[in-house]
Structure 1
């Protein structure tokens, strides 16, 4: 004797139950799947520290992009005035108006540089642009080189992997500061008479930062690829005869988005600090606006004019701290084991 049926059934429930579920209801939205990136973005938005750091970093990006516009709006510029008109040469070349001997000067909100009469705010704004451009370019180059070498070494294996791993380890053994100190006088002597010397100097700095910053990304990507290349989707792509280049770009690279984002977010603040440090040592940007160069010029005036030194240091600290905290938050958000 057969049991009575109430109608055709569907997978997961009856057709009547399925019809009662509104696809636009909150229940349907709760059971809908979310991509890993969407989950990570939700974690970031719930992290108040990450949101504040992202806002601070975005403000610095806007300052770097619109430094010229902001300078015009505030009425400051990089033009150096006649020194004797704004400086007291009998008092160590300190400003006649504004700090450290006088009160706030609305025409020069950050004060005036001693001995030169340059506007500190204008140099602070353009120094932010210099640091962001150099650090961003070096990060882009280093990340690209590291990703390519890591992908090829991890996927190919064998002799190619050994050679690329040896090159990576070789670069890791070279002290960065020693290499920078060695290359700086060579570049200075070779191109000192060139009309494009300062442009060459900036590109050399980008090359030095990127040349000694790609190894960590390469080792991280190689380790991830060594585990991913044995996965079923890669084996299926090989069986189907998919070219190696397509496997690397279409199959492996999308699965490496999380470690790449984390590496870039932590590499950028490191390059900002290194650029300022090299400029302070006199082997980075030696002409134009730079936070590190300003610190180098401000050190002798720390006792009489400490604000001159504090201004670029505060900028570097805020930018590096916000980028580091944002990078840590991104790493935690992309980690499936965290429950923040």
Structure 2
């Protein structure tokens, strides 16, 4: 057995508090779930690139139309009337210092201006339709998941009906009926845009509604719901103060994934001729016009196609990254 070591002097007098007081340390700070999610998202470079493109597209849609020329001004002197295509540029696109993305065949309208103005139409319809879908889907999904029983049965069967509804045919028929009508003082393109937002948003709510219903079925069995109920909280308090804040993450994720779907649907309707009325530009309408001139001026189809492709891809990449950041167990 060794003898105990005797401590003398200043070491013997030093107390733990005194030792800790002499250490230059930082107070430990907690992190919220949103801060942790942001740290995860920052590590996903692909998602950040997608998010940067999304922000850029939104800024282009808001401020771009004020910075470019009139999209309906003709420059017919730039086109070759013999072949019905621009006289110069790569693939007869008409790209030059004055027209960065070239000009349209036959009439010479500036492609950059039409792409920028088309971005405003596509993103406006997609965002407003998504907002309508999210509001309806979240409210009905939470109510169905929490109350269950006959309420859940009615809402779930309504979801099945909407999912089986021929949305494309209905949109074509509705726009055809309202082609020359005036509703609430709206007519022409104003009415078309509101009809597109309503049709796309109202009939797409079951997609997010089913997801929110499933999440609510899981959350309603958690301890914090039982605690709120035991303290006398009512159903609406539990729905909107206890359950809804815990559903913010899936709502954000699936909203970002629903936006590109709505962009494609609006482009499809415009391609079929039931979107905005020409000469107002839209990406789908530009693709429809490019079908007849693709053989002589292929860039007229490539440019709006790339605009749709890049926009949808950026939203999907950002949505996937956001999902992984908010729910890493879903990887």
What TM-score results when the alignment is normalised by the length of structure 1? Answer: 0.85
Q: Deviations over 1:87-122 (max 9, x none)?
A: 443x14333565654864222222221223311111
CA contact (8 A) 1:98 1:112 kept: no
2:100 matched to 1:80? no
Which SS does the other structure have where 2:249 is aligned?
Answer: helix
- Partners in 2 of 1:101 and 1:296 — Cα distance? 19
- Partners in 1 of 2:233 and 2:206 — Cα distance? 29
Structure 1 equivalent of residue 37 of structure 2: 40
Shift of 1:290: 0.4
- Partners in 2 of 1:203 and 1:18 — Cα distance? 70
Shift of 1:185: 1.8
Q: Which runs of 5+ in 1 are unaligned?
A: 1-13
- Partners in 2 of 1:221 and 1:189 — Cα distance? 39
RMSD (Å) for aligned C-alpha atoms: 2.5
Aligned residues: 315
CA contact (8 A) 2:162 2:206 kept: yes
2:225 matched to 1:225? no
- Partners in 1 of 2:121 and 2:171 — Cα distance? 18
Q: Deviations over 1:160-181 (max 9, x none)?
A: 1111111111111113323223
CA contact (8 A) 1:108 1:121 kept: yes
Which SS does the other structure have where 1:269 is aligned?
Answer: helix
Q: Deviations over 1:194-249 (max 9, x none)?
A: 87221111111111111221101111111111121122221222222223222211
2:171 matched to 1:180? yes
Q: Which runs of 5+ in 2 are unaligned?
A: 1-14
Shift of 1:154: 1.2
Which SS does the other structure have where 2:30 is aligned?
Answer: coil
- Partners in 1 of 2:63 and 2:186 — Cα distance? 27
Check 1:155–1:106 CA distance in 2 against 1; reply closer, same or farther (3 A cut). same
Counterpart selection for 1:168 from 156, 159, 167? 159
Structure 2 equivalent of residue 8 of structure 1: none
Q: Comparing 226-235 with 59-68, which one deviates more in the overlay?
A: 226-235
Which SS does the other structure have where 2:179 is aligned?
Answer: helix
What TM-score results when the alignment is normalised by the length of structure 2? Answer: 0.87
- Which runs of at least 4 in structure 1 moved beyond 6 Å after TM superposition? none
Which SS does the other structure have where 1:66 is aligned?
Answer: helix
Shift of 1:70: 2.5
